[in-house]
């Protein structure tokens, strides 16, 4: 297995790298600072510097992975942004940071990474139930919600483009104890990532384009 994880300096991305390395996979992973790159090196991954909000950095990735063919691509990098409780308008810079990371980043990377996928590869974006319109009962974090709803649209369009070439899904990792999820979250990263790895490993072509919970159950958009 040859795996690429985008945004793996800490949290769920780093846990994906640790678990895939444990099972003996070849892993290439990205981080945007030296601390993150050192963590990836220590796990035996090929570590590449990438800031998904930087067009030049994203454009340089293709050359860095030239000749590689990935069986699994996980686009994990994400930010939450302002922790609003109601309809508090984000500052322009907050809006740009969240949308550039969570939406424009994948829109820059997915077209170029499609060419680096092995036939029948699996492609996952880390989305969130918070982006689902169905059954929404809170508007807390509305900028993050809007960004993940947009990411779900990006995944749907990517799935249309890659039909028959890769199985593409949006994954909800659960509410996980990372810097983003906080100490009060329900799941350990190890458990969430173990579930998502199992879900990814057992994907069938019928699940192409789906929105899935970490345990593989389908989620409404």
Binding site for ligand NAP (CB under 6 A): 7-13, 32-33, 36, 50-53, 76-79, 101, 126, 128, 172-173, 175-176, 178-181, 185
In whole angstroms, how close is the CB of 67 to ligand NAP at the nearest point? 23
Q: What is the rounded CA–CA span in Å between residue 30 and residue 101? A: 14
Torsion of CA 15, 20, 22, 28, to 10 degrees: -90
The smaller minimum CB distance to ligand NAP, of residues 11 and 90, is found at 11
Question: Chain centroid to CA 94: how far?
Answer: 20
The smaller minimum CB distance to ligand NAP, of residues 50 and 103, is found at 50
- Of 18, 29, 126, which is closest to residue 70 (Cα–Cα)? 29
In whole angstroms, how close is the CB of 125 to ligand NAP at the nearest point? 8
Triad 80, 83, 87: Cα angle to 5°:
115
In whole angstroms, how close is the CB of 119 to ligand NAP at the nearest point? 27
The smaller minimum CB distance to ligand NAP, of residues 165 and 175, is found at 175
In whole angstroms, how close is the CB of 141 to ligand NAP at the nearest point? 10
What burial letters (b/e) apply to 140-162, b meaning 16+ CB within 10 Å?
A: ebbbbbbbbbbbbebbeebbeeb
The smaller minimum CB distance to ligand NAP, of residues 105 and 208, is found at 105
The smaller minimum CB distance to ligand NAP, of residues 183 and 206, is found at 183
**Total H helices, total E strands in the chain:** 7, 7
Token pair listed for 179: 């810097």
In whole angstroms, how close is the CB of 18 to ligand NAP at the nearest point? 13
């Amino acid at each position: 297995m040859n795996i690429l994880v985008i945004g793996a300096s800490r949290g769920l991305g780093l846990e994906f790298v640790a678990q895939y390395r444990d099972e003996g996979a070849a892993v290439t992973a990205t981080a945007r600072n030296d601390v993150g790159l050192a963590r990836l090196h220590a796990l035996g991954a090929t570590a590449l510097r990438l800031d998904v909000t930087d067009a030049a950095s994203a454009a340089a990735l293709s050359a860095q992975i030239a000749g590689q063919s990935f069986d699994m691509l996980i686009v994990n990098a994400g930010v939450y942004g302002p922790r609003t409780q109601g309809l508090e308008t984000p500052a322009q810079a907050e809006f740009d940071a969240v949308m550039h990371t969570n939406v424009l980043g994948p829109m820059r990377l997915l077209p170029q990474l499609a060419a680096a996928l092995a036939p029948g590869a699996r492609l996952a974006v880390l989305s969130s139930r918070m982006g689902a319109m169905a059954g929404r009962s809170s508007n807390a974090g509305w900028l993050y919600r809007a960004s993940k709803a947009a990411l779900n649209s990006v995944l749907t369009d990517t799935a249309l483009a890659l039909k028959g070439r890769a199985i593409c899904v949006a994954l909800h990792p659960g509410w996980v104890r990372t810097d983003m999820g906080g100490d009060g979250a329900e799941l350990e990263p190890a458990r969430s990532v173990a579930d998502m790895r199992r879900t990814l490993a057992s994907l069938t072509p019928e699940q192409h384009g789906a929105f899935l919970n970490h345990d593989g159950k389908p989620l409404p958009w």
